[in-house]
Amino acid sequence: MDVNLDSLIEKVRTEAVEQARQAAAEIAGQAQAEADRLLAEARAEAERIVQRARAEAEHATENGRQALRQAARDAELLLRERLTALFDRVFRRQVGAALTPQALAPIIQQLVVQWAQQGEVTVVVSPADREALEGILLAGLHDELNSGVTVRASQSVTKGFRIERRGSDVYYDFTDETIAETLRAFLSPGLQAMLDGRDG
């Protein structure tokens, strides 16, 4: 009987160990499967994070490039604007310097002679040039100045002159601003080509 009990105990113990071993193997397998699943999910999430980070970095890089391109374009436009304004100021100053009373007098005399035949005429000049022009014109247009031709100073004229027929809207504008603007229309394509670097 002792033999049977010992073998029974041995058998139960062997079965219990085997069951424990199987349970442990099953638990280890489940743990390994869960660890593999979690590792795969972590790898997939890490890959998604890396992809998002790459996309955001590329987006930020492209945004930076666009911002740099826009800043360069803005700087170029500002430079062109300032160069054009500088050119306009210098050009107007040069035109104004050429419009001396001595240079204007012959032109005004010819226009006055033609216009005075059709009615009263007003010549508008700058306050600075009025006295000099009146003196020059008085010598050449004595009769016309006594019969309906008036020389008037205006703050709106800095250089040059404007000639008007009284009682009508007809006038010619030979001021530095108008002459510079007219000449600028002819010179602007060349200036634009120079600013664009197309002039060689």
Distance between CA atoms of residues 24 and 36, nearest Å: 18
CA gap 29, 40 in Å, rounded:
16
Find the mean pLDDT for residues 124-131. 87
Rounded to the nearest integer, the mean pLDDT of the chain is 80
**Confidence band for 112, pLDDT divided at 50, 70 and 90:** confident
Q: Cβ-count burial of 68 within 10 angstroms (0-12 exposed, 13-18 middle, 19+ buried)?
A: exposed
- pLDDT for position 169: 79
Residue percentage of the chain with pLDDT more than 90: 0
Contacts of 138 (CB under 8 A, 6+ apart): 145
Q: How far is CA 86 from CA 10, 82, 121, 196, in A?
A: 110, 6, 36, 17
Q: What integer is the mean pLDDT of 113-122?
A: 79
| Higher pLDDT pick, 22 / 186 | 22
Q: Is the pLDDT of residue 198 over 60?
A: no
The rounded distance, in Å, linking the Cα atoms of 108 and 189 is 31
Domain ranges of the chain: 1-98, 100-192
Q: What is the pLDDT of residues 131-149, one digit of tens each?
A: 888 777 776 666 656 667 7
Asked if 119 and 148 touch (Cβ cutoff 8 Å), the reply is yes
Q: What is the mean pLDDT of residues 33-48?
A: 85
Q: What is the pLDDT of residue 140?
A: 67
pLDDT (mean) for 22-30: 80
Give the SS3 label for residue 199.
Answer: coil
Contact residues for 151 (Cβ-Cβ < 8 A; gap 6+): 122, 123, 125, 130, 133, 134, 137, 145
- Would you state the torsion angle of the CA atoms of residues 119, 124, 129, 134, taken in this order, to the nearest 10 degrees? 20
Q: Which of 48-62, 111-125, 181-195 has the lowest mean pLDDT?
A: 181-195
Cα–Cα distance, 119 to 150 (Å, whole number):
12
Q: Which residues pair with 160 in a beta bridge?
A: 175
Looking at domain 100-192, its CATH superfamily turns out to be ATP synthase, E subunit, C-terminal (3.30.2320.30)
The pLDDT score that the predictor gives to residue 194 is 65
Would you say residue 71 has pLDDT above 80?
A: yes
Instruction: Summarize the confidence of residues 65-80 as an average pLDDT.
Output: 86
CB 160 within 8 A of CB 123: no
Instruction: Give the C-alpha separation, 95 to 160, whole Å.
Output: 9
The answer to which of 63-72, 75-84, 171-180 has the lowest mean pLDDT is 75-84
Strands (E), the chain: 121-125, 149-153, 160-165, 171-175
